[in-house]
Structure 1
């Protein structure tokens, strides 16, 4: 063996040793946070699996909370990063699709026959940050530093739980796009989604009465709902250039206008020769179209605690569907909590 070959082998061995050491450190970090979450209070709430109560006052499954803790400890945001933030069932899939299609319209025109959405779902195009980092449980994680700008991520965690580098102040931080939805529609969509997951596990469905009681008490995945919204709303008011706040209902009324706002917010405004592009993006990402694509009808998407059928992410997506499922008493109770929580914040009732 030549000296040069020996040297190369030595470097390769050193790299392998360093990789093994890093993998072991990653695994230890994951185990530390898993043990920490396991020691937290665990209320019986609106979910398909066990929820834990974080010291900051929000609830999550073990996987989601561990992923959030790893992200807080390890993730370094870039000023060019864009983060989608939502509560579950608040328009997450739609805003992911709109953002991806808007940011990548140069290389993937929305009317192109080979657009990625024909083979990939929005959750594959914009992954959840916590899911990416939850791979620490294997000792191996993807090298997020190698991803090209702009990196697109999503999260369900409250504003208070975002990694410091995401909302650095003073500092560049990164862009955050938040979408909120009427709490009654959010609840109904979440209730249906969770019961689908429970059915897959052979579990009994949750009654709407029990689920509503837990929702109003704040015991829901990544809830309480109202505190989640009230985390991002003041951040938007204080730093509108960094935190964009959309309402699902307003997006439904004029989606093209919101796509234009989104493009300007992320620094990629529509220019000359792009007349009609915002409308084309809206058509591409329309609920009816997306729900009929093979990529969204078939297969599964890996989430933090289980794989979810892609079809589960599409139910109806309409405004006011809660009227088909909630009694007047339940609707009034949710409205009462909303008025109480939002009073004095300058945030009109949703």
Structure 2
């Protein structure tokens, strides 16, 4: 009789053979799975997440398209919900752990076998549990969609998002894969061929849900969060039903959280300068510039026109828009 692991490997291989595939960026191929493009190494994790994860009503999910400010929002969210347990002083976990270790991606938790060990780990986490995901809204586990858990989604102007994706994936790619030129990468990006993409579908799934269920999904833009971080830290706390008190505000607790989670602060911590996290990605690669409008240093006029037209086509009529000029 075949082992469970052997049977699962056989099923996964047959699944991959049945899926459309395209040449990837950091991965050799992306597979079209449940209407989004996914590296083969992530499909098992997504599948197990859908089958086995049991959401609790107190859970918080930080959702995003890759390279949209995920690391920053994870740090802010973790600090907001745990502010009664940890002050912004020397004992805060963010000073000794990477945000992705404190707020793990659900599809990566379930990436490997030993499902029962994973479930035991999850059940022993202190509440409220805070998780991350890049999975599009329709492919979240039913337990997430059916529970009262809260989802905070962050997106980013596709121009800056593309540049961040291109630089990041060229850094983490296997040495056996060639680097992707920026023009070729943009072609794939506009066609939606990128991990957890198309970008527009990922954003619009959460955008529409935030309109239909505003108590369930809070939709944020990276640019707005960066422009008025104080306002949105308060907004996140209110959304999560743990608003800041007048005393906390007067004590400077919001400013302390913003300072603790700033890109420069996290980038310069020893814990984020070396070592790996998630799928053996070097921690330092998660902290680049974090600037708004840096895309102008990379785009040619033809590239600008191409992405502008794609965005106009894909986002038309949705009510979701971004500034495309510098």
Length-normalised TM-score, structure 2:
0.92
2:43 to 65, 81, 84: 65
2:286 to 298, 313, 319: 313
Other structure's SS at 1:135 match: coil
Other structure's SS at 1:141 match: helix
For 1:3-48, what per-residue CA distance to the aligned partner results, in whole angstroms no more than 9, with x for missing partners?
Answer: xxxxxxxxxxxxxxxxxxxxx7577556634542353221113334
Match of 2:149 in 1: 174
RMSD of aligned Cα (Å): 1.8
Match of 1:133 in 2: 110
State the 1:337 CA deviation. 0.9
The whole-number CA distance in structure 2 between the counterparts of 1:324 and 1:173 is 43
Alignment of 1:175-194 (within 5 A): 175-194=150-169
In 2 relative to 1, CA 145–95 (structure 1 residues): closer, same or farther, beyond 3 Å? Answer: same
Alignment of 1:44-55 (within 5 A): 44-54=23-33
Match of 2:305 in 1: 332
CA contact (8 A) 2:267 2:273 kept: yes
2:236 to 262, 275, 295: 262
Could you tell me which runs of 5 or more consecutive residues in structure 1 were left unpaired when the two chains were aligned: 1-23
In 2 relative to 1, CA 99–244 (structure 1 residues): closer, same or farther, beyond 3 Å? Answer: same
The whole-number CA distance in structure 2 between the counterparts of 1:290 and 1:69 is 32
In 2 relative to 1, CA 145–347 (structure 1 residues): closer, same or farther, beyond 3 Å? Answer: same
Alignment of 1:38-187 (within 5 A): 38-54=17-33, 56-110=34-88, 112-136=89-113, 140-143=117-120, 144-168=122-146, 172-187=147-162
CA contact (8 A) 2:100 2:278 kept: no
The whole-number CA distance in structure 2 between the counterparts of 1:297 and 1:160 is 35
In 2 relative to 1, CA 89–210 (structure 1 residues): closer, same or farther, beyond 3 Å? Answer: same
State the 1:153 CA deviation. 0.7
State the 1:138 CA deviation. 8.1
Match of 1:277 in 2: 253
The whole-number CA distance in structure 2 between the counterparts of 1:349 and 1:30 is 42
For 1:77-109, what per-residue CA distance to the aligned partner results, in whole angstroms no more than 9, with x for missing partners?
Answer: 111111111011010100000001111111111
The whole-number CA distance in structure 2 between the counterparts of 1:232 and 1:338 is 17
Instruction: Name which one, 1 or 2, has greater alpha-carbon Rg.
Output: 1
State the 1:197 CA deviation. 1.4
Match of 2:180 in 1: 206
- Stretch of structure 1 that moved more, 339-348 or 224-233: 339-348
In 2 relative to 1, CA 34–149 (structure 1 residues): closer, same or farther, beyond 3 Å? Answer: farther
In 2 relative to 1, CA 39–319 (structure 1 residues): closer, same or farther, beyond 3 Å? Answer: same
Other structure's SS at 2:127 match: coil
In 2 relative to 1, CA 106–28 (structure 1 residues): closer, same or farther, beyond 3 Å? Answer: farther
For 1:184-208, what per-residue CA distance to the aligned partner results, in whole angstroms no more than 9, with x for missing partners?
Answer: 111100000111113x525321100
In 2 relative to 1, CA 63–202 (structure 1 residues): closer, same or farther, beyond 3 Å? Answer: closer
The whole-number CA distance in structure 2 between the counterparts of 1:343 and 1:138 is 42
Match of 1:237 in 2: 211
* Residue 12 of structure 2 is aligned to residue 36 of structure 1: no
CA contact (8 A) 1:33 1:70 kept: no
The whole-number CA distance in structure 1 between the counterparts of 2:90 and 2:49 is 36
The whole-number CA distance in structure 1 between the counterparts of 2:55 and 2:8 is 20
Other structure's SS at 2:135 match: coil
CA contact (8 A) 2:26 2:177 kept: no
